[in-house]
Chains A and B, each alone.
Chain A
Amino acid sequence: MEIIIDIEDSTPLFTQLIDQIKGAVLKKKVRPGDALPSIRQLANDLRLNNKTVAKAYRLLERDSVIQTKGYRGTFVHPNAVANCTVDLNEWVTQKLTETIAEFKQAGVTDSEIRIAFSSVMNKQNI
């Protein structure tokens, strides 16, 4: 299975990687339990920074599409096919849309929402 990335594309490189790996899982080009290349190997083959591939792997691991088994390497998650269809970005957008709509209905202004949002995010990141 070959993955192709376009360095001139407006989509961030790590997102392209995530999409390609998810695509490979959904098309059954890679199956649950299959080993994936190491971060270094993939980064060198694609002539990308290790951090870019690491970020893609981290997000895929968060979404339970892949799993890292220590020194043995990275593997496709047993529930990868089901988890590939879950789009956390879409879910976040939907939840935020609903919440913001609620706030607006209650008469909260845009700037109040922004300030509150930033404040909550800052507290979360401390």
Chain B
Amino acid sequence: MFENILFYPIFLSQILLISYYFPKKILTRTKLVLQNYPPEQYPKLYVKPIKFYNSVLRSFKIANQIILAIGIAGIIGLGYLDMSHEGSIAEFIPLIYFMIQILPVFLMEVFGFAYFKMMRKADTRTTRKAELMPRKLTDFVSPIAVGLAIFMFFACLLFFYLLEGFQYDLRNDTFIIFLTLGFSNLFFCVIIYWNIYGKKLDPYQAGKDRVRQIEITVKSLVYMSILASMFLILTKSINVFDLDYLETALMSVYLQIVIWLGLGSMLKNIRLENLDFDVYKNEAAAS
């Protein structure tokens, strides 16, 4: 009973946060851009007619509404059914639903990449600019945070290894954790490297805006790495202390923190009023 009381509000919070709160924020923000920075004044920002953007936003809104409805229906359904945590699918409900929830955001991200590519193609300027300043990881995140992420990775492995009595077996949790956490950390490293040294996606983006965007991305990923290790240590501890009933709720909390760190920090820290939109004006208008 206690686990249900704990699980329902937390899962409801996951449904509302990822399928209502953040999509609403994204939509409001995008509509503000369309209203305040129209194609007539900021032509470089638009490589497609305005109708196109409205239809993309509408699709995004509908997709999130459908996922929200599925979530609400699911939580009501779970209320009627007896949700068992003992090895049933209930343990994975927050994760499976999360995968569905982030699908529209993921598609928007893919659309963003395609859009920037179109912008680069449409860019007819013959001059190109670059800062004669090196960028390095510690410019964007403190070395302590990086060190902590590395420490937590090894601490997590050691913790699992310790609980398994230092027995080497490829079927052990330690090896599985080493692979999954290792690969996810490697994935984070690739994104960080690509952000710092990779191609500039938006050809018009002002230098300081790019630096701020890199900083937020790098910080989010380093914190996510620390959080992932902490989460795994916590879930293993829960198993050891026979508190398995907390696992599903904990998973949902973890996923919500991940979204806050990723999408949330991006929306909170990159404010429209701080972005340099003058770069999207025509040269004559901008000067």
> Do chains A and B interact in one complex?
yes
Residue of B nearest to A48 (CB): B128
In the complex, how many angstroms separate the beta carbon of A15 from the nearest chain B beta carbon? 15
- Cβ-based interface call for A21 (8 A): yes
In angstroms, Cα B131 to Cα A40, docked, is 13
The digit string for B111-136, where 1 denotes a CB below 8 A from any CB of A, is 00000000000000011111111110
Q: Select which of B129, B134, B197, B200 is within 8 A of A3 by beta carbon.
A: B129
In angstroms, Cα B154 to Cα A52, docked, is 41
Contact, CB under 8 Å: B198 / A44 = yes
In angstroms, Cα B207 to Cα A2, docked, is 10
Question: What is the size, in residues, of chain B's interface with A at 8 Å between Cβ atoms?
Answer: 16
CB under 8 Å from chain B, chain A span 1-35: 1-9, 20-21, 24, 29-30, 35
Q: Select which of B128, B131, B135 is within 8 A of A47 by beta carbon.
A: B128
Size category, A interface: 20 to 34
Residue of B nearest to A76 (CB): B132
Residues in B neighbouring A5, C-beta threshold 8 A = 127-128
Contact, CB under 8 Å: B132 / A24 = yes
| A contacts with B: majority SS | mixed
- Cβ-based interface call for B199 (8 A): yes
Residues in A neighbouring B127, C-beta threshold 8 A = 4-7
In the complex, how many angstroms separate the beta carbon of B125 from the nearest chain A beta carbon? 9
Q: Select which of A8, A42, A44 is within 8 A of B199 by beta carbon.
A: A44
Contact, CB under 8 Å: B128 / A42 = no
- Cβ-based interface call for A100 (8 A): no
In the complex, how many angstroms separate the beta carbon of B52 from the nearest chain A beta carbon? 26
Of B131, B132, B134, B207, the most chain A CB neighbours within 10 A belong to: B132
Residues in A neighbouring B126, C-beta threshold 8 A = 6-9
Residues in A neighbouring B133, C-beta threshold 8 A = 1, 35, 37
In the complex, how many angstroms separate the beta carbon of B164 from the nearest chain A beta carbon? 37
Contact, CB under 8 Å: A46 / B128 = yes
In angstroms, Cα B130 to Cα A29, docked, is 14
In the complex, how many angstroms separate the beta carbon of B140 from the nearest chain A beta carbon? 14
Residue of A nearest to B198 (CB): A44
- Cβ-based interface call for A68 (8 A): no
Residues in A neighbouring B135, C-beta threshold 8 A = 37, 41
Given contacts A2-B207, A6-B127, A8-B126, contact A36 B200 (CB under 8 A): no
Contact, CB under 8 Å: B132 / A38 = no
The digit string for B158-201, where 1 denotes a CB below 8 A from any CB of A, is 00000000000000000000000000000000000000111110
CB under 8 Å from chain A, chain B span 23-81: none
Q: Select which of B129, B200, B207 is within 8 A of A4 by beta carbon.
A: B129
In angstroms, Cα B129 to Cα A7, docked, is 11
Residues in A neighbouring B200, C-beta threshold 8 A = 44-45, 47
In the complex, how many angstroms separate the beta carbon of A30 from the nearest chain B beta carbon? 6
In the complex, how many angstroms separate the beta carbon of B209 from the nearest chain A beta carbon? 14
Residue of B nearest to A45 (CB): B130
Given contacts A2-B129, A6-B127, A47-B128, contact A38 B199 (CB under 8 A): no
Tell me the B residues contacting A by CB distance below 8 Å. Answer: 126-135, 196-200, 207
Tell me the A residues contacting B by CB distance below 8 Å. Answer: 1-9, 20-21, 24, 29-30, 35-38, 40-42, 44-48, 73
11 A-B residue pairs with CB within 8 Å: A2-B130, A4-B128, A5-B128, A6-B127, A7-B128, A24-B132, A30-B132, A37-B130, A41-B134, A45-B129, A47-B200
- Please give 8 more A-B residue pairs, beta carbons under 8 A apart, in addition to A1-B131, A3-B130, A5-B128: A2-B130, A2-B132, A4-B128, A9-B126, A21-B132, A37-B134, A46-B130, A48-B128
